[in-house]
Amino acid sequence: MKHSFDELVETFAILRGPNGCPWDKKQTHESLIKCLQNESQELIEAIEKKDDENMKEELGDVLLQVLMHSQLAAEEGKFTIQDVIDGLYEKLHRRHPHVFGQYPKAATPEEALAVWKEMKKKERQEK
């Protein structure tokens, strides 16, 4: 059965809601740090072992962390998962002017990385 991203986001709202899970409702950004570290390490291990099935599961666990932190932030009135998505979309387009903008095409991975670093430096200078 296929599920949508919106259904997944709603699941986190339910888990943290009045009739949700006591463990999920108790979590904070700080209490989840160790979980994020563990899930990231487990993903790294799956990648290193070239274990695609485990990698799929661990990617889900890392996504769980992203969604949980976004839900917490939304409850605090700070930002939502949509803000995270929008920010990432804008960053990817800004940092890839050789793909999405009026910038010479990068011919090699090294040239593309140099453009990324240049765009990142410009962003920092503009802040």
For residues 68 and 16, what is the distance between their CA atoms, to the nearest angstrom? 9
**Could you tell me if residue 47 is inside a domain?**
yes
For residues 108 and 46, what is the distance between their CA atoms, to the nearest angstrom? 28
| Residue 51 pLDDT class (50, 70, 90 cuts) | very high
For residues 99 and 92, what is the distance between their CA atoms, to the nearest angstrom? 10
Which pLDDT value is given to residue 105?
86
DSSP-derived 3-state class of residue 107 = coil
**Could you tell me if residue 115 is inside a domain?**
no
Assess contact for 43 and 62: CB atoms under 8 A: yes
The parent domain of residue 42 ranges over 5-78
**Could you tell me if residue 111 is inside a domain?**
no
**Could you tell me if residue 113 is inside a domain?**
no
| Residue 47 pLDDT class (50, 70, 90 cuts) | very high
Which pLDDT value is given to residue 101?
85
Count of the separate structural domains present in the chain: 1
Summarize the confidence of residues 21-38 as an average pLDDT. Answer: 97
**Could you tell me if residue 85 is inside a domain?**
no
**Could you tell me if residue 114 is inside a domain?**
no
Q: Is the pLDDT of residue 8 over 90?
A: yes
Min mean pLDDT across 14-18, 54-58, 123-127 is at: 123-127
In 3D space, the residue among 61, 80, 58, 86 whose CA is nearest the CA of residue 9 turns out to be 80
**Could you tell me if residue 59 is inside a domain?**
yes
Higher pLDDT, 106 or 75: 75
First to last CA, the chain: 45
For residue 124, how far is the Cα from the chain centroid?
Answer: 21
